[in-house]
Structure formats: structure tokens, C-alpha cells
Amino acid sequence: MHEDHERALKALASRGRLRALAPRRGVDFSSNDYLGLGASPDLAGAITAAIARGVPVGAGGSRLLRGNDPEHETLEDEAARFFGGDSALYMGGGFAANTAIFSVLPQRGDLIVHDELVHASAHDGMRLSKADRVAVAHNDADAFRDAIRDWRKAGRMGRVWIAVESLYSMEGDRAPLASLDQLAREIEAMLVIDEAHATGVFGPAGRGLGHGLEGAPHVVSLHTCGKALGVMGALIVAPRLLRDYLVNRARPFIYATAPSPLMAAGVRAALALSSSAPERREALHERIAIFGAALSGSCGIAPTGTQIQPVIVKSDTRAVWIADALQKQGFDVRAVRPPTVPEGTARLRVSLTLNASAADMLSLVDALSRELQRTEP
């Protein structure tokens, strides 16, 4: 009955690309819990206090029905002020939020020009969009300009939407936001910035790498709440008109049960901590510097300067066996293979968090140096 599915899974296994769920084990070098907030007493206390004041666990329906809780609306008001935007919309997760943005906001006759490495959720949204779309070379502002020029030369007159991540989840590098913002202003384009991996880590009080741009009428930002903020959900920060349009047109918002009001309370607490507890962010940046210096010295790998460090080994099977070897030594490092990353760029994705000490990071570098010198079994 399921022969086709079985053949497909066997084909993935033969290429070293079969995925499987694995338990947490060893020191955390794979999560996105960058500030160690996920299991923190601070957030646990905020959730406990929310329960005590009667905040419900479940929303009970979509927000357009009875699921719109005061915690959702309070969070959105506070988030808009925190990030400096006109308004905010809270959704269940970054994937759904990105899908909503790109499937709904660009219109027929518009163009979405996006970095070739933009997240899968943006791609899914673009597939549902009626707008044209074109990918350009990674972090190349001139490539964005050239693609837009070529589209205009073909007689297209719609609005342009420029789509990037501020900090790329598999590369660990940053988008040229200043150059892209200048381009957007010049041609009256919209700039969509996915801040998923920068929120909480970079910018004043963890407001993200694009903080200085938020609040402008041509900027839409996405801040996920399940990474450095340690909770769950996502906040779209946008001009009020676009927020209202999403509420009326975005199927991932309209037809989904609303996020837990308790999680909204948790995000409120996480945003407050982002402002009041800079020591977490400072400690993370210290560890990023320590790890980067050690990695460069022992492995000859250039550090990204962020909490995401790819170690590209090219071969899918080599990435898997090195990750397995590191896991057996007590380091939770995972292999990332195509199609998540481009062909020929299989890698270890090392994620630096406050769940690992500086000593843990130095020990990982030593183990990684040894494994990289071994031949594949």
C-alpha cells in the first residue's frame, strides 16, 4: 500500500539524508535557546503568576471567534512599543507568520525579490502568492538592484517586496540591511526582515538588527518568540493597515486556533527581561568571542561573530558521522544536509547558547578539531 513512501525513505537513507527524531542528549550546541530562557526560573515564575491571575491555558478558538484573549492584545501593544513599530500581530509560530506575510501582502503584479537562502517558510508563502518572485545571490545588495531593474525593463509596474533574514539561520551571517533599506527607499519598495535569530541577541535591548528601521511605513518585521525569547509564537511588526489586512486575509491567522494566552504572558515577560537583564546577552556575546577565537586557532575556521557557526564538511554522510561522534562525546551537535542547505554544503550547525559554559565550548572545539582530521569510516 505504501511502497512509494518506503522507496522514497530508502532513497533518502542511501544518500545519508534520512531524518529521524532524536532525544536531547549532552551539552546543548543545537538549540535556538540562545539566552537560556527556555527553562529559566524567570519565565517559569511569569507563567505561574499568569495562572494565578486566571490566564487560561488554551485559547478555545481562532482569534476571530472567541480565542482573542486580553493577553494577546496586551502583548501586541507592548511588542509594538518595544520594537518601535506601528502595530504588532501575535501568531502561533514563525513558520505560519512568514507564510502569512508572503502569501497575502504582495499582490498580483508585484515582485518578491528574495535572498536565495531565505527561510523555507518564506518560500512556502511565496508559492501561495500571486506575485512574481525571483531569487538573488546571498547577501548581494547589487544583485537585488539588478533583479529589480530587469523586472522593470520587462514592463512590470507593480510594487517590489525585498525579503531577507537579518541573521541567516544556517550561515550565521548578517544581511546588508542598510544597503537594502536605501534601495527600498529609492524605489518605494517594501522591505520584509525576518529577525528570527537576531531577536533577543542583537540590537538595543535585543530588539534585532533592523531595529533602527522599524516603524517606517515600508518595513515589515518578523520576531519569533521561541528562540532567544524562550517561549513560543511569533510577532509580525508592521504598519497598522498591513496588520489589519493580515487579520482579514491571512489564512494561517484566520483559520488557526489562537496561541495559548499563557504563552502570550510568557512572551510579555521575555520582552521585559530583554530590557531589564542585559547580562544574559552580554554573557552570550562573550562566549561567542571565546568560541570564535578557539575555532579559528584550532580548526582554521573563520568565525561568523554570531551565535550560529556552520562547519561545512560538504559530504552528507561525513556530516552525519562527525555529528554522531561528537554526540557520543557529550556534545549535542546536529548535522544539517540538503535540501535544508544547498547541495554540496552539508554541515554541522553549532549553536551557541547560555546552556553551555565557556569551558564546554572550548572542549567542543578540541573534539571538533580531532574529528575533522579523521577520515570517514
Judge whether 360 counts as a catalytic residue.
Answer: no
Measured N-to-C along each axis, helices 94-104 and 120-128 cross at an angle, to the nearest 10 degrees, of: 30
Q: Report how far Cα 27 is from the mean position of its chain's Cα atoms.
A: 22
Judge whether 197 counts as a catalytic residue.
Answer: yes
249-252 contacts, C-beta under 8 A, 24 or more apart: 249/104, 250/100, 250/101, 250/103, 250/104, 251/100, 251/103, 251/104, 252/91, 252/92, 252/96, 252/97, 252/99, 252/100, 252/103
The DSSP string of 300-365 is -----SSSEEEEEEE-HHHHHHHHHHHHHTTEE-EEE-TTSS-TT-EEEEEE--TTS-HHHHHHHH
- Residue of 33, 194, 195, 214 marked catalytic: 194
C-beta separation of 132 from 148 below 8 A: no
Q: Which three cell numbers stand for residue 158?
A: 507593480
235: β partners:
90, 223
Region of 344 on the Ramachandran plot (φ > 0 left; ψ -120 to 50 alpha; else beta): left
Q: Which three cell numbers stand for residue 107?
A: 499582490
- Residue of 32, 139, 274, 355 marked catalytic: 32
Q: Which three cell numbers stand for residue 205?
A: 535591548
- Residue of 72, 119, 211, 223 marked catalytic: 119
Q: Which three cell numbers stand for residue 352?
A: 551557541
Judge whether 194 counts as a catalytic residue.
Answer: yes
Judge whether 315 counts as a catalytic residue.
Answer: no
- Residue of 72, 114, 197, 211 marked catalytic: 197
C-beta separation of 200 from 166 below 8 A: no
Judge whether 71 counts as a catalytic residue.
Answer: no
Backbone angles phi, psi at 136, to 5 degrees: -130, 165
Instruction: Say how far apart CA 40 and CA 95 lie, in whole Å.
Output: 25
Instruction: Say how far apart CA 235 and CA 193 lie, in whole Å.
Output: 12
Cβ atoms within 10 Å, residue 330: 13
What 3-state class would DSSP assign to 51? helix
- Residue of 30, 166, 169, 260 marked catalytic: 169
- Residue of 165, 181, 214, 316 marked catalytic: 165
- Residue of 72, 114, 223, 227 marked catalytic: 227
Which residues are the active-site residues?
32, 119, 165, 169, 194, 197, 227
